[in-house]
């Protein structure tokens, strides 16, 4: 008689605030090897693979694509120790638990994501046709059921299902806006010195974002309350400047790879680290540790042409996020003369529980000073 081993979501592999099942890389009855990837977990920060805990046969899949899961939750089971299946890779049907062909859909059989959506919309699950395994209701089934009741349902349209990452990001944004009162301060910065420095070091291919990170380190060290996390019992001030930089992904969505201990890097090291993190973020090659432990974030939304975005939603467990708009030539009065200067709008959106306006303004003053006096 074969034994079974549970496939669980490991706490050290599940960085993020939400976790959903992505794609199963193996099917029921497939032989698996220890440490071989079994499935993908998609969070609001990164996609990670869950590996097989032992050699054997995939005997049960308990969580389907799109289901929400918690750290430590059982995702499926592997059958091990059979006379042939676990050793030769040959599937033994007798090792698998019997699955009813078309089980009735009850509340106990609804995934957490489906149950939450049904409760929010006040729906009767018995009236929803399930397309999942054995007639199970999926999130897509609920959304398709809701569509005919929309006032715009008669209009020509097509429905593009949300990806698990898009849903995770949406949930994260709503939670952050609900928990933290967002307030945004706006300054303007002259980047003439940066432009001159970049031109003098053109061979190094240093992006504006690298300079923005260096200025952020200087401002965080001058106003340490910005590099913090709110708790009901006090404000947690961080010694390290672990700066997340928002990266737009080719298939949609956003991720925040983190420059750990950015205060220890110089400009060139910062530029190289950013280049590496950005490239691997866009190719889906980041490791979980590379999106962990951020204490402050930057959204350089100007790279896509935006002049101003406010408020920018603060990442959970942080107190502020910096936003930098497009650099463009604008008129500026200096020494009584009007000159065309490369200017950009810069914002700091703060958690007003943790910070007040004067601290936001002081941070931005130090940040602008670091940029405008760059040498």
Distance CA 212, CA 225 (A): 19
Confidence bin at 153 (pLDDT 50/70/90)? low
205 catalytically annotated: no
Q: Write down the pLDDT at residue 260.
A: 97
Distance CA 48, CA 40 (A): 6
Asked whether residue 103 carries a pLDDT value surpassing 60, the answer given is no
Q: Write down the pLDDT at residue 85.
A: 41
Higher pLDDT, 153 or 190: 190
Q: Which of 35, 205, 276, 356 is catalytic?
A: 356
Asked whether residue 99 carries a pLDDT value surpassing 70, the answer given is no
352 catalytically annotated: yes
Out of 79-83, 147-151, 225-229, least confident range: 147-151
Q: Write down the pLDDT at residue 69.
A: 83
CA distances (Å), origin 370, targets 222, 239, 242, 323, 365: 11, 20, 19, 16, 9
Distance CA 22, CA 284 (A): 14
CA distances (Å), origin 82, targets 2, 6, 45, 79: 5, 16, 39, 8
Are the C-beta atoms of 87 and 32 separated by less than 8 Å?
Answer: no
Distance CA 217, CA 319 (A): 15
Cβ-based burial of 53 (10 A; exposed 0-12, middle 13-18, buried ≥19): middle
Q: What does the pLDDT average to over 174-196?
A: 94
For the chain, the average pLDDT equals: 85
Q: Write down the pLDDT at residue 142.
A: 82
Winning range, highest mean pLDDT, from 17-26, 184-193, 288-297: 184-193
Cβ-based burial of 94 (10 A; exposed 0-12, middle 13-18, buried ≥19): exposed
Could you read off the pLDDT of 13-48 as tens digits, one per residue? 545 566 788 888 888 888 999 888 888 887 766 677
Asked whether residue 229 carries a pLDDT value surpassing 80, the answer given is yes
Are the C-beta atoms of 300 and 215 separated by less than 8 Å?
Answer: no
Confidence bin at 94 (pLDDT 50/70/90)? very low
Distance CA 318, CA 244 (A): 11
Q: Which of 162, 182, 197, 352 is catalytic?
A: 352
């Amino acid at each position: 008689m074969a034994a079974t081993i549970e496939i669980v979501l490991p706490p050290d592999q599940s960085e993020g605030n939400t976790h959903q099942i992505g794609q199963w890389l193996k099917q029921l009855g497939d032989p698996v090897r220890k440490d071989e990837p079994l499935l993908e977990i998609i969070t609001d920060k990164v996609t990670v693979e869950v590996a097989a805990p032992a050699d054997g046969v995939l005997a049960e899949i308990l969580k389907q694509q799109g289901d929400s899961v918690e750290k430590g939750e059982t995702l499926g089971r592997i059958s091990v120790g059979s006379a042939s299946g676990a050793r030769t890779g040959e599937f033994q049907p007798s090792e698998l638990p019997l699955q009813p062909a078309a089980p009735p859909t009850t509340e106990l059989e609804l995934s957490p994501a489906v149950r939450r959506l049904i409760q929010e919309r006040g729906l009767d699950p018995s009236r929803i046709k399930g397309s999942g395994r054995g007639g199970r209701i999926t999130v897509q089934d609920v959304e398709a059921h809701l569509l005919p009741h929309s006032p715009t349902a008669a209009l020509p349209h097509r429905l593009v299902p949300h990806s698990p990452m898009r849903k995770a990001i949406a949930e994260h944004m709503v939670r952050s806006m609900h928990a933290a009162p967002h307030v945004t301060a706006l300054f303007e910065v002259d980047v003439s010195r940066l432009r001159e420095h970049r031109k003098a070091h053109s061979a190094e291919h240093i992006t504006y974002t690298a300079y923005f990170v260096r200025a952020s380190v200087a401002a965080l060290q001058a106003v340490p309350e910005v590099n913090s996390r709110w708790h009901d019992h006090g404000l947690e001030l961080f010694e390290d400047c672990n700066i997340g930089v928002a990266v737009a992904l080719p298939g949609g969505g956003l991720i925040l790879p983190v420059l750990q201990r950015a205060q220890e890097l110089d400009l060139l090291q910062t530029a190289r680290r950013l280049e590496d993190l950005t490239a691997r973020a866009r190719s889906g090659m980041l490791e979980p540790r590379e999106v962990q432990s951020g204490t402050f974030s930057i959204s350089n939304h100007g790279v896509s042409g935006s002049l101003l975005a406010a408020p920018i939603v603060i990442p959970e467990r942080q107190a502020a996020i910096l936003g930098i708009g497009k650099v463009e030539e604008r008129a500026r009065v200096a020494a009584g003369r009007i000159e065309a200067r490369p200017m950009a709008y810069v914002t700091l959106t703060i958690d007003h529980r943790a910070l007040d306006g004067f601290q936001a303004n002081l941070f931005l003053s130090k940040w602008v000073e670091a940029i405008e006096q760059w040498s």
